[in-house]
Structure 1
Amino acid sequence: MHLQHSPEVWAEYPELVAGALFVTGITADVSAESRIAAYTAIAESRLADGPETGFPEIQAWRRVFSRMGLKPTQYRCASEALLRRFRKEGVLPRIHPLIDLCNAISLAFAIPVAAIDLSRVSKGLDVRHADGDEVYQTFSGETEHPDAGEVIFTDAAGRAHARRWTNRQSGYSAVRDTTATVLIVTEAMHDTASADVPELVAAVTGELGRVWGSTPQSAVLSRSTPRFEFPA
């Protein structure tokens, strides 16, 4: 299997830095609460100095969304949406230990982190502009078709696993209690992304080892190294 961004995406967004981790052995019967607390404390500290809209990581994604023709206050990248909810409510709902941990790390770094159940993915994932006939399933089970030209995560079966790039994942491949094999993807656009994304990948790697005893296969992607290959 693979993860890769299309040449067109790299040409339009050369500032992109992406990280990816392939991991097996994920289960739901673990506790990650102490690790979640450590990362949410970092987010709390950052938010104490001002709202997430002032973070360079968030501002960079807002500029990208504007370039994609999307209103940034209507369609937010996943990390901004999480930070906004956390700032208002002081806590995030618990879903699954892996999702909860990835959300906490996303809060701390202010960078989107997606976890995708690979048993629901056909052959691999391409981040590219949509043709418009791909199939996307919402978390409520409804079917949508991405707009032509929209940046999506799609597989060989024509299924979209994320819409509007880092805005919304698909319910079809969301991590659930039966999930065992996962692809974790993080993407950033800000000036220090080339340093921050490897640091985030290292943080996720460490937590996967601490909580699940797993050693992931990982990569940091750029225009010169755009493809990450991992076992089917």
Structure 2
Amino acid sequence: MTNLYVAQEIWQQWPKLQLGVVKVSGINNEQASAATANYLQNVQQSVARQVQEVTLIELPEVAVWREAYRLFGAKPKRYPCSLENLLQRIKREQYPRAINPLVDIYNIISLQYRVPVGGEDIAKIKGDLWLRFATENEAFIQLLGEAEAKAPKPGEVIYSDDVGAVCRRWNWKEADRTKLTPSTTDAILVVESLQEASLQPCLEALVNLLSEYCGGKAETTLLTAPA
């Protein structure tokens, strides 16, 4: 099954980085869609009350990602990380819609624990996944919701497989090629943190929701900088 690796240069730049990896197999990603959609809506309403009078960019969990984006040359105001994007939309009362159980669950965890979370369909990944800096010769990719395929810019942080990037500007936007769909049965989900608090409680909550709403078997790994 697909594994996730992190380039040494990433660890050197962000030594506090933690990646919680959950690989799930044999899941049903469509039967509980109404239940996870309702769960997501309740979480969004709760978060909306929490951030109503808050300046999002001053939140530590948002500020740390804005600084990371600046370090690799992305303007966080134009390209907000996935967590900030969720919070911005909720603050504007433009709640992200329910998509499918896997996506709904990782958005729930993202909002509850204030960390970026994403996922890919393992059947659509070629080889292993890498978190690395983009080079000058990256393949053009079609991002979700984008009309035109573009190549990542040299130096930006990307997740990639043997074909090319599956997520640009770290966790800004995912590729259409490997997206999670109702027919997904095997997936890899990644929880990201640049802060010191352990991701273990977050991972446990994610696995519990996956078990409750999607079934299947889950395997978790916590990646941290080499000693």
Asked if these proteins are the same fold (TM beyond 0.5), I'd say yes
Secondary structure, in 3 states, of the residue corresponding to 1:216?
Answer: strand
Unmatched segments (≥5 aa) in structure 2: none
- Equivalent residue in structure 1 for 2:80, among 65, 76, 79: 76
2:148 is matched with which residue: 137, 142, 150? Answer: 142
Match of 2:201 in 1: 199
The alpha carbon displacement at 1:56 in A equals 1.0
Residue in 2 that maps onto 1:98: 102
Distance 1:90 1:81 in 2: 11
Measured in 1, the distance between the counterparts of 2:152 and 2:39 equals 36
* Inter-partner Cα distance in structure 2 for 1:108 and 1:131: 34
Contact 2:74 2:156 in 1 (8 A): no
User: Residue 174 of structure 1 aligns to which amino acid in structure 2?
Assistant: K
1:152 alignment counterpart:
158
Q: Select the residue among 125, 129, 133 that pairs with 2:133.
A: 129
- 1:38 Cα shift? 5.0
Name the SS of the counterpart of 2:118 in structure 1.
strand
Shift of 1:41: 4.8
Query: Is the partner of 2:162 in helix, strand or coil?
Result: coil
1:12 partnered with 2:13: yes
Q: 2:172 maps to which residue?
A: 167
Q: Is the 8 A contact 1:40 1:105 kept in 2?
A: no
SS of the residue 2:108 aligns to: helix
TM-score by length of 1: 0.88
Q: Cα offset for 1:107?
A: 1.6
The letter for the 2-side match of 1:154 is S
The one-letter amino acid paired with 2:107 is N
Measure the CA separation in 2 of the matches of 1:58 and 1:75.
13
Question: Percent of counterpart pairs with the same letter?
Answer: 25
Partner of 2:219: 217
How many Å separate the matches in 1 of 2:156 and 2:216?
35
Q: How far 1:190 moved relative to its partner?
A: 2.4
Q: Give the CA deviation at 1:12.
A: 0.8
Superposition TM-score, scaled by structure 2 size: 0.90
Are the counterparts in 2 of residues 39 and 105 from structure 1 also a CA contact under 8 Å? no
Query: What is the letter of the counterpart of residue 161 of structure 1?
Result: V
Alpha-carbon RMSD across the aligned residues, in angstroms, is 1.8
Unaligned runs of 5+ in 1: 226-232
Taking the aligned partners of 2:49 and 2:195, their CA distance within structure 1 comes to 20
Asked if the contact 2:158/2:168 (under 8 Å) is kept, the reply is yes
**Residue deviations 1:134-170 (CA, integer Å, cap 9, x gap):** 222222463211111211111123x100111111111
